[in-house]
Amino acid sequence: MTELRKRVTALDVAHAAGVSKTTVSYVLNQTPNQSIPAETRRRVLDAVRDLNYTPLSAARALRRGHNDTVLLVMPDWPLGRTLALVLDALAVELESQGLSLLIRRQHHGQSLSGMWRELAPAAVIALGEVEESEEEAILAAGIFAATALLTSPSSPRTAVVVPQDAIGALQVRHLAARGHRQLAFAGPGDPRFAAFRNLRLDGARRACEELGLPDPEALDVDPSLEGAIAAARHWLERAPRVTAVVAYNDEFAAALVAGLHQLGRSAPGDLAIIGVDNEPLARFISPSLTTVDQNHELVAAHLAQLVVNGLAGEPAPHPLHSDALTLVVREST
């Protein structure tokens, strides 16, 4: 077993450079209104390099009252492709600003309060609704708070929006433009997806209403070949016959395409199908999938900007409308 080596502290650097801890700190933090001669600065920096000194974030956090960390709290959602890409891009983006992203899931009954009080992050990003009193408490602790809602914001707060309802609406408008009137919605029955599913369905419903189309029938589908076959059969035999399906995502869409094929039918002739996520394999399905692409880079950049501006006391960036959403038209519709 190797012997435990003592940590190199600012005091060690101070000694090596022949100055005090204070000066070391001033140099390293480039504290304003301190005029330290270049020569002294160089000596400190040399010592830092020679000793391989790194300030301990815990000590700094204790003194400053907060970390250089952004705490992202999310419900216990399954990690889909888009969410994973957004979070990854966000982490990279924040890192480039000297911030760490710490992602925590909030399981049922776990208190949000405990998480941020324990960590004392610079900012908290909540995915999904947060109680007003909780948000107040976060702000009162001097922590910047942002909320990433899945729907259009009801209040003009610091809420970034990744509007799931806009996805459903976009899907419906595309199908309507192709002449379809009798639509159906195919999504997961699993309650873990409910937050996303329900909002997409809502958006689809509202769009149908606006376009004067009948309300789309929502069906829980098992995204297997058998589940898809059953669903497709149901729609084809139904009166009035469904001619197009809004799928929860590309997996459901792909299952339906394959199911139709098994029935000797095909998209879009017998049933038009549109997915969401623009999975890498979506274009290689045959017929290739029409889908909605969520621009994860844009969403991540926006979230990062919101936090960075907030920490700097600058105004929030302009809200993301549906710019982050792109319709990718292929063969299945």
Partner DNA sequence: CTGAAAGCGCTTACAG
Q: For the stretch 161-193, what's the b/e string if a residue is b when 16 or more beta carbons lie within 10 angstroms of its beta carbon? A: bbbbbbbbbbbbbbbbeeebebbbbbbbeeeeb
113 near DNA, judged by CB under 7 A: no
Q: Which is nearer to DNA, 13 or 169 (CB)?
A: 13
CA atoms within 13 A on the CB side of 298: 14
Q: Which lies closer to its own copies via its Cβ, residue 201 or residue 282?
A: 282
Establish if 139 lies at the interface with DNA (CB under 7 A): no
Q: Are 206 and 169 in contact (CB under 8 A)?
A: yes
User: Which residue, among 61, 72, 74, has the nearest Cα to 123 in the 3D structure?
Assistant: 72
The amino acid at 305 = Q
Question: Rule CB under 8 A: which residues touch its own copies?
Answer: 2-5, 7, 52, 54-59, 61-62, 65, 67, 79, 81, 84-85, 88, 91-92, 95, 100-105, 113-114, 117-120, 136-137, 139-142, 223, 225, 250-251, 254-255, 257-258, 261, 279-286
Residue with tokens 């000066």: 23
H and E: helices and strands count for the chain: 12, 11
92 binds, among its own copies, DNA, none (CB under 5 to 8 A by kind): its own copies
23 binds DNA (CB under 7 A): yes
Interacting span for DNA (CB under 7 A) from 61-69, 141-149, 230-238, 298-306 = 61-69
> Is residue 307 part of the contact set for DNA (CB under 7 A)?
no
Confirm or reject binding of residue 22 to DNA (CB under 7 A).
yes
* Token output for 202: 């809502």
H/E stretch holding 259 reads: helix 250-262
Cβ atoms 23, 14 nearer than 8 A: yes
Q: Which is nearer to its own copies, 170 or 257 (CB)?
A: 257
The answer to whether residues 202 and 165 touch, using CB atoms and an 8 Å cutoff, is: yes
Question: What is the closest distance, in whole angstroms, from the C-beta atom of residue 45 to DNA in the complex?
Answer: 13
Q: What is the CA radius of gyration of the chain?
A: 26
DSSP three-state, residue 289: coil
Q: Which of 49, 64, 192, 241 binds DNA (CB under 7 A)?
A: 64
Range in contact with DNA (rule: CB under 7 A) among 54-62, 80-88, 263-271, 306-314:
54-62
Q: Which does 213 bind (CB under 5 to 8 A by kind): DNA, its own copies, none?
A: none
Laid out side by side, the sheet with 272-274 consists of 217-220, 183-187, 244-247, 272-274
When CB distances are held under 5 to 8 angstroms depending on the partner's kind, the choice from its own copies, DNA, none that residue 137 binds is: its own copies
Nearer to DNA, 18 or 189 (CB): 18
Does residue number 40 form part of the binding site for DNA (CB under 7 A)? yes
Cβ nearer to DNA, comparing 15 with 157:
15
Q: Cβ closer to its own copies: 4 or 38?
A: 4
Using the rule CB under 7 A, is 29 a contact of DNA?
Answer: yes
Alpha-carbon dihedral sign for residues 268, 271, 275, 281: negative
103 binds, among its own copies, DNA, none (CB under 5 to 8 A by kind): its own copies
Should residue 7 be labelled a site residue for DNA when binding is judged by CB under 7 A? yes
3-state secondary structure 122-139: CEEEEECCCCHHHHHHHH
Instruction: Report the residue number, 117 or 192, with the smaller CB distance to DNA.
Output: 117
- Contacts with DNA by CB under 7 A lie at 6-7, 9-11, 18-26, 28-29, 31, 34-37, 40, 53-56, 59-60, 62-65
